Amino acid sequence: MARTGFYDRSQDLYLPKDTTTWDDLTPGNSLSWDEWTTYYQSLSASTELEFTSDIIDFGYSHNIFPVIKITGRRDGAPTTGATFTTGFPEFTIEGSDASDMSGATSVTVDKDSTPTYSGVGAKRYYRITVKINSGTNTTPQGLRGIEIALLTDAIEETIENFNTATVDDGSTTSRVIPTQQTYSSISYVGITPKTEISDTVVTGVSSDGSSVILYVAAGYVNTGYFVGDTGSTSVTTSNVTIVPLTRVVSTSTNSFTMQVYKPNTAEDTNVTIDAYIRGTPPVAVDVNGNLVRSA
C-alpha cells in the first residue's frame, strides 16, 4: 500500500504523478519541448491513483465496519466530479493487533466485481487504502477528500425452535444454520439446546463390590485406571436422557455452522435450539463509489 500521488495545494486536490522525466523532453526522444503541450504524458485508462491512510489505533481489539466516503474532482476543473471506470473506486481494509500492522488481515472491495465487505475480525489497528482510476492525459482526476469512519454498531437476532435435523443431509457432522439478517461479520453466536437426546450410560459392579456408573463409553477407559472402576467385571449399558453438546464451527455473512454431539458416545446427533446472533451490519460499495452500510 502506498501514496502514489501528490497534493496540489492550489486546487486542494490529491493528483496522480506523471512519469515524464527531463530526459524525455529532448529532441530525438518521444517528446520534445515543442511537443509538450500538456503536463500529463503517461496517464491511461488503466493508470491508478492510490492513497493509504495512517495507521488508526482503535484503542482495543473490536469488530468494526468501515464507512468510507470519497470526493473526486477533475484536475483544472475542481467543480467537475471524477468519472470512475470499471473496478473503481477500490478500497482495501487492513486490520492487525500489531502497531506496525504486521500479520495484518485484509479485505479488498470495489464498485463492480466485489462490492460487498466482509469483516477482518476483531483488531486494534486499522489502515485504509483508497484507489481510483487517475483519468487520462487530457482529463486527469484526483481526490478532494476521503472520510473514514470505523463503527461498532451491532445488529442482532434470535432464532427460536430451530431443529438441526432440517439441515442434516447425512453427509457431514456440520449443520449450517441460516440467519435472518445479512452481516458483514458475525462476532457472537449463543446456542441454547431446547430438547434432550438419548445417550448411553455404562453401569456395573467393580472388583471391590462397589457399584460404578461411567458417563463415557467403556471402551475409552483403561481397566484399572480408576480406583473402583469396572476391572474385569462385566458391565451393562442403558440409555439415559441428556442435553447434547454443541459448538460453533464457523460463521459467514448469512449463516453459522455448528455441530451437535452425544456427550457420552460422541456420536453425531440433532437437537432443537434457540440461538442469539450478534454482528456488524452489511457494508458495500454503492453506485456513487462510497463504501456505506447497505441495510
288 inside domain = no
Q: In terms of pLDDT, which residue wins out, 233 or 88?
A: 88
pTM of the predicted model as reported, rounded to 2 decimal places: 0.82
Amino acid at 164: T
Residues 94 and 119 in one domain: yes
**How many separate domains does the chain show?**
3
C-alpha cell at 63: 469488530
CATH (domain of 170): 2.60.40
Full residue range of the structural domain in which residue 221 is found: 198-241
pLDDT at 270: 97
What is the band of 230 on the pLDDT scale with cuts at 50, 70, 90?
Answer: very low
Residues 11 and 145 in one domain: yes
| 251, pLDDT greater than 50 | yes
Residues 6+ apart with CB under 8 A from 282: 116, 117, 182, 183, 184, 253, 293, 294, 295
Give the model confidence (pLDDT) of 87-135 as tens digits.
999 999 999 999 999 999 999 999 999 999 999 999 999 999 999 999 9
β-partners of residue 204 are 212, 235
Residues 84 and 117 in one domain: yes
176 inside domain = yes
Give the model confidence (pLDDT) of 158-169 as tens digits.
999 999 999 999
Question: What is the distance between the terminal CA atoms of the chain, rounded to a whole angstrom?
Answer: 30
Distance CA 239, CA 9 (A): 80
Residues 11 and 129 in one domain: yes
| 70, pLDDT greater than 60 | yes
Give the model confidence (pLDDT) of 7-66 as tens digits.
999 999 999 988 777 676 666 666 666 666 677 878 888 889 999 999 999 999 999 999
Q: How many CB atoms neighbour CB 137 within 10 A? A: 14
Residues 138 and 22 in one domain: yes
Residues 42 and 55 in one domain: yes
What is the band of 256 on the pLDDT scale with cuts at 50, 70, 90?
Answer: very high
The answer to whether the bond into 89 is cis (omega within 30° of 0) is yes
254 inside domain = yes
